[in-house]
Amino acid sequence: MTTLRPLYRATFAATLAMLSCASVTAYAQGVIKIGEVNSYKAQPAFLEPYKKGMELAVEEINAAGGVNGKKIELITRDDNANPGDAVRVAEELISREKIDVLTGTFLSNTGLAMTDFAKQKKFFFLAGEPLTDKIIWGSGNKYTYRLRPGTYMQAAMLVPEAVKMKKKRWAIVYPNYEYGQSAVAAFKTLLKAAQPDVEFVVEQASPLGKLDAGSVVQALADAKPDAIFNVLFGADLSKFVREGNTRGLFQGREVISVLTGEPEYLDALKDEAPNGWVVTGYPWYGIQTPEHKAFFLAYHGKYKDYPRLGSVVGYTAIKSIAAGLKKAKSSETEKLAAAFAGLQVDSPFGKITYRAQDHQSTMGAYVGKTKNDGGKGVMVDYTYFDGAKYLPSDAEVKKLRAPD
């Protein structure tokens, strides 16, 4: 037995070494799982292109060798446009699917639910689309970042255009939930500061997806406003435009409208598309920058279709996560959250930065006017507004956001 002991020790050491190498190899050949939660059934116009954008980014990243030696795997779940369901499926993604990173959400109320979930679970979350600024300010936390320009940023881009109109009496129409309330509050605050004599003569707030277009349009017309600020989108927007056109609401009145220039919503209006509304949107057909051309060609090559704004958001969300993982050299939450502070990412709109002070990216938006071009709505006279120029100062952010 004594003569066997050195041999046993050598064999045991060799076995341990083999197991260690196998473990390292398995780790290196593993995957990074990105869990994504969204309202696919409720908001298909935006989220079907969004998902395609994500899938294109995953394909490109994996074709280039993945991140940190690992391939990316995307696992999506539908939240039924319900905050409670969003939290439930996020729990499932973490416990059953063992995801490394969480992203997604479209509606602002589900985005806020996930923001709180990230804080409670200490789990990294990149909010791609929801626009309420509570995500980065009032409810902001060290584990949550947001990609798209929020309601404050978009209002700040549009208010100078509203001031140029020199209109005193404004009507407001919006969906009565977190996004609509946040957008209206930002617009009113910024416009009042720039034009103190402005009056808001009527407000019409309807439950999301349940706009009674006839009564809303009549109420706006009865108030005889000089201009209208509109925050509706999707089916509500289509009903509002149709009824407004029928009743002549928009004749002789200026309209400022958030989101209406996005092809997801402008395309749906078809020959009812209005002329001359000042909007935020995405004129994919006219953007000639090298980074957008490359994105367009890749997207069109894969899907034989043109991108929507959702495509850009989904694509950039996954590219952002990959850049964060590479910088952190890890998918561990604390390291990833730290890596996102000041993270720079190449996007179809150019280079963007995730600000350390409030976790908001500097992605901007296009501002222009709508035009009915032969029965199809397009954007004309548009300009890209750099998001970095339309965010509060660091001093203001400190007042708005609790310390992490």
Taken as a whole, the chain contains a residue count of: 404
Identify whether the C-beta of residue 97 lies closer than 8 Å to the C-beta of residue 75.
yes
Q: Give the number of other CB atoms < 10 A from CB of residue 373.
A: 12
Computed over every residue of the chain, the mean pLDDT equals: 93
DSSP 157-194: HHHHHHHHHT--EEEEEEESSHHHHHHHHHHHHHHHHH
Residue 378 to residues 75, 195, 374, Cα–Cα distance (Å): 34, 30, 10
pLDDT at res. 303? 98
Identify whether the C-beta of residue 47 lies closer than 8 Å to the C-beta of residue 40.
yes
Q: Which residues contact 95 (CB under 8 A, 6 or more apart)?
A: none
Kindly tell me if the per-residue pLDDT of 27 is higher than 50.
no
152-285+366-390, which class in CATH?
alpha beta
31-150+288-364, which class in CATH?
alpha beta
pLDDT at res. 18? 43
Domain coordinates in residue numbering, the chain: 31-150+288-364, 152-285+366-390
Q: Give the number of other CB atoms < 10 A from CB of residue 304.
A: 7
Q: Nearest CA to 311 among 297, 290, 323, 324?
A: 297
Under the banding of pLDDT at 50, 70 and 90, the label for residue 403 is confident
pLDDT at res. 402? 83
Kindly tell me if the per-residue pLDDT of 212 is higher than 70.
yes
Residue-wise pLDDT for 365-390, tens only, equals 999 999 999 999 999 999 999 999 99
Kindly tell me if the per-residue pLDDT of 15 is higher than 90.
no
Matching fold, domains 31-150+288-364 and 152-285+366-390: yes
Q: Which tokens sit at 282?
A: 């995405």
Q: Which residues contact 285 (CB under 8 A, 6 or more apart)?
A: 306, 378
pLDDT at res. 28? 40
